[in-house]
Chain A
Amino acid sequence: MAEIQEKSGGKQKKGAQKKMHIRVDFTPMVDMNMLLITFFMLCTTMIKSQTLTIALPSNEKVENQENMSQASADDAVTIIIDAKRKAGSFDVDSVNGKVVNEVYYYFGKPGGDAGMFGAGGTIITENNNLKKSSFDLNDKEGIRKIIQDRNKEVLTEINALKKKYQDGGFGSLETKDGREKAQEAYNAAAAEIRKNENLKKPVVIIKSTPQASFGSLVEVLDEMQINSISKYQIDNMTRADSVMLIDFQNAHHGN
């Protein structure tokens, strides 16, 4: 382990102190440390989870209908997430074995102004205004493009704000302190824009079939954040929604 070496050879003066070389072998120490490191690496986590805050409406029945704030039909965008269906079951990704999810949307009321149901509850399939979308960012009908298009007025302002922030409009970005201050001012200004009642803002209603995956829901919720949507809601599927979805899938069978 440790050795003490006496310098040998050479002429040695009588009475001179012997020079000792003291060497400690650190190999076992390194071994032990490596073991400890391995242990810590395997048993611990460094990444802290992130959270996504959700606020659901109270599900108490509101007795006075007038008190309910209704989203105007023009602003409403409904997004429906569903698992991709195959004959009798669901389409499963061949690589990771996950259920493939699909996303649909419609503007305004289900079935347009005329509605999906005729007299006596008959279904009017011609009124189906459901369209298929995707999570693909480059797709013209992709969910991001649609939301961005609807939220154009807010996003233009936010982008202008971003540019101002990058150009140092909220203070210098040179120092850490300055960056923090600028970020704070930017966030306040962005929140102001999102709240601005004069801008046309969509109200996004997110619905999901029971078979769709939790991951897709979070993905859609992410889009809300990316595209600065201030008003969005997770809601239950209504009868009209289900009817439209089934009708659409029957009409586009095999796609």
Chain B
Amino acid sequence: MSELDKNPEAATDDVPPEAQEDPLYFAWEPKEGASAHIQSFKAAPEFQEPLGYPGELVDNWKEVALAKMEELRGKFRSFRLFLDICVKCGACTDKCHYYMGTSDPKNMPVGRQDLLRSVYRRYFTLPGKWFPQLVGARELTEDVLEEWYTYYFQCSECRRCSVYCPYGIDTAEITMAAREILDSVGIGMKYTNEIIGKVFKVGNNLGLPKPALQSTLEDLEDEIEEDTGVRVRLPLDEPADILLVTPSADFFAEPHIDGLIGYAKVFHATGAKWTLSSYASEAANFAMFIGSYENMRRIALRIRKAAIDLGVKRIIIGECGHAWRAAYQFLNTLAGPFDFLDPNYPVPQHICEYTWEAIQKGLLKFDKSQNDHLKVTFHDSCNVARASRMGDYPGGQFEIPRNIIKAVCNHFYEMPEDTIKEATLCCGGGGGLLTDDLMELRKKGGSPRMKALKQATEEYGVNKMAAICAICKTQFSKIMPMFGYGMDDIMSLHQLVSNAIILPGSEQEKELMEAEAENAGENAGEGEA
């Protein structure tokens, strides 16, 4: 306890944000071992066991790990195929933000995959059994497990590599499998696994019990009333038409909570009957990060139960990137079918889909000038961009959030083309890496995005970045000050909505009507003259 050197900010001050892709493929020597020292805390037995994993490394870890690998390649075509068909073409090598930020070749997507592929080849392929040296096959040892733990927890499962791979190999699939293998032999990550246990027990990542949640929501109702003069409800566990499931950070952190206020105002303005649930008070599903279908399902089932118990017709998910993937790609599969809900709506829906539909129907009124002091850009969250959709056409996940921002802001600008939409760069904290003990990696991994943001700032004077992901928001509020921005320069998308929305019967509406009347009077006067 003598060392005070764990101040992550001090440890990373020397990282310049100059990392970027290197499409010409010339310079850029990889620095072997550059991030080998970055390792997150491992889970103590108390955090492993509730998830059904051994508390510590089991004696026959080798057999267990290989048996798990065999099981996974029988269960997931992605895993089996991706291990087989990589041709080492190198297309992915400069695409990972952690590689860009660290230059460690094991953070190149193919480098990361090879950590496991080399073992797979040794035990599951003929050439690897006969000529291990020839095909880069290696034995599974305890050192290999340690290496896996280090580098598979330096991947944010953002899928950027899968965009550029000619065979669509998605390193996230390999990372998830590797984490599942590690967990099955008793090596788990403290951050993810402690949190999953909290969801099983309390219902959310934070461990926020119902009375605390109730009290927080009442506080927010008071706050909105002070600001607008309108009592906007944030109902909890009430029978309703819409169940809103949102990341618990929305009840706790800044700027997340302003997004929650934004959702509440939208629901209020559209006259929706909605509710939150204390049982399913978490949209995040960290079990996805560790590739565990069983644990992922346990969390997903809470949403199903809450929907049944509260008798809702629709499920809407709040702003959260991986949660939207967990909901969009996995909720139906793991906890469906949802045939008891209103078939006129997709299950689940994203809050942005709801808000955009309300805007299109003319249900919401905005005073865009409320956001005039902001020059806003939008950060596409990786899981939303590359693992989901909004609306009924491909790419809706890019357009709908931008449409909303343009409806509530006058000044919107894009970051460079190769860093947005499907090419978006991860914030650096996704995939279960949003923990203080990985701060050095988070800063380095976030540096490519920060570089892109700086370009937008220099070119257009952008001073705020909006996001629709709880992890992105927390990560940016932490790292943006390291790159010369303020911690509040990251905003919730629905915070922008909240700023501009004019609630029926509010002070803002009165002011606006008076101003309009005045204008009309002046215009009339001019007309007479």
Real complex partners, A and B? Answer: no
Q: Residues on B close to A: CB < 8 A? A: none
Q: Residues on A close to B: CB < 8 A? A: none
